[in-house]
Amino acid sequence: MNKKLWQFWIDRGGTFTDIVALSPKGKLFTHKILSDNSVIEGIREILPAGEKIGAVKMGTTVATNALLERKGERTALLITKGFGDALRIAYQNRPDIFALNIVLPELLYEQVIEVDERYSAKSEELKAVSLIDVRNQLQNIQDQGIDSIAIVFMHAYRYPKHEQQVATLARELGFSQVSVSHEVSPLIKLISRGDTTVVDAYLSPILRRYVDSVANELGDAKLLFMQSS
């Protein structure tokens, strides 16, 4: 830590953002602003004119809020043919086992593409991917303004070739977010792997845009974000 430059620690919550700053002389400052305001605005209210920032370390609920408020990126799910409803059915968990009116949570993806592909559990390629068909399907959802996709194929945690082929095609077509299950969450269980991949596709663009906006305002200052891991 460069003690000749200002250091900032920031916790951006859903309503308020708390800022702690350490001056080059070792003096601590605290500040609170509404989270609707820019973090940079809060920093500027502390930082004296002409002085520089060494590092900004942040924790943020931007992604969590987007998930709770269902304000993530428009997302499509690509999944093995025959499993289009798998993530909706999931494990059929029922918090109230005697409830007659079961209210299911809103899905994070708005389109499903069932891709005619399949590997066996023992690595045999039962059905190769038709990239021509997938290209047409991807272009169709792209025409609808969907720019983020989650790819979840059976047994891809161990045999990822088909996911890799489709992901490469999607990136060539210009999708800005391509989340692939064998990279995001290489788990044997389709539902757990699929849910995590969809969340990644839904939230990553939101968080990336926020990080980029803060980084662009800070210039050369070092920007670090707290991770839940």
Domain parsing of the chain, residue ranges: 6-66+208-225, 68-204
Model pLDDT, residue 204: 96
Dihedral Cα 136, 139, 141, 143, nearest 10 deg: -140
DSSP state of 31: E
Cβ 56 vs Cβ 223: under 8 Å: yes
Residue 177 and residue 110: Cα distance in Å, rounded?
Answer: 15
Model pLDDT, residue 104: 79
- What is the full per-residue pLDDT of the chain (229 aa) written as tens digits? 556 899 999 999 888 999 999 999 999 999 999 988 889 999 999 999 989 999 999 998 889 889 999 999 999 999 999 999 999 999 887 778 888 888 878 999 999 999 999 999 999 999 999 999 999 999 999 999 999 999 999 999 999 999 999 999 999 999 999 999 999 999 999 999 999 999 999 999 999 999 999 999 898 899 998 866 5
Model pLDDT, residue 1: 53
- Is CATH 3.30.420.40 the classification given to domain 6-66+208-225? yes
Secondary-structure percent of the chain, ordered helix, strand, coil, rounded to 5: 35, 25, 40
